[in-house]
Structure 1
């Protein structure tokens, strides 16, 4: 084997101008920013869907009569958490949407925990 490097080898370095490197770095930053934005949006939607699902189950349990007077406030908290989870789709500003989503999660968790502790 010869010790000479070919032009297409992995170790060859692409020589570019500073402008090309800066443009490539900016394109990379934009790509990462889009990925982070999409990941956050998917996480927010998944959390909102989970609170809405808990609210649907709690509403169903209330409608079929499974809620006792002792457990009704916990079911109501779960339903309210789902309503807040649904409200995140109406709010467009990121900061209030984050607070509404946090409230939805807290209410859903408190409601489910209370339901299990009472029953």
Structure 2
């Protein structure tokens, strides 16, 4: 019933050297680092996509004439946030790209909040 395993085989482990163990730990750390890098890159891209989406909607509202003079500045701020969101793809250094993305998010939040408060 035990499938060919002897009694107490659960406690028997293959002996590995310290070098093999260190190599396995290093491989694991590299895998986790690659996963984290990919996850953060995907998160930054989706945040940039969201700011661009807000800008596209704001631009559409400008073109169809739904913008009042009181709400125009907020729509303009939203369009500017999309420009900063697109700029994140042209900035190559990680730290400035993060700053550009932060500016895009702040402008998008301010623009959308202003849109809702004036309408």
Measured against the shorter chain, the TM-score band is over 0.9
Deviation at 1:5, TM superposition (A): 1.8
Unmatched segments (≥5 aa) in structure 1: none
Structure 2 length normalisation: TM-score? Answer: 0.92
Measured on the aligned residues, the alpha-carbon RMSD in Å equals 1.5
Aligned residue number for residue 38 of structure 2: 38
Q: Deviations over 1:7-41 (max 9, x none)?
A: xx3x3322111100000000000000000000000
Paired residue secondary structure (2:101) = helix
Paired residue secondary structure (2:37) = helix
Unmatched segments (≥5 aa) in structure 2: none
The aligned length equals: 116
Q: Deviations over 1:44-102 (max 9, x none)?
A: 01100000000000000001111111100000000000110011011111100000000
CA distance in 2, matches of 1:43, 1:35: 12
Aligned residue number for residue 76 of structure 1: 76
CA distance in 2, matches of 1:40, 1:14: 37
Runs of 4+ in 1 over 4 A off after TM superposition: none
Paired residue secondary structure (1:69) = coil
Aligned residue number for residue 99 of structure 1: 99
Structure 1 length normalisation: TM-score? Answer: 0.92
Paired residue secondary structure (2:15) = coil
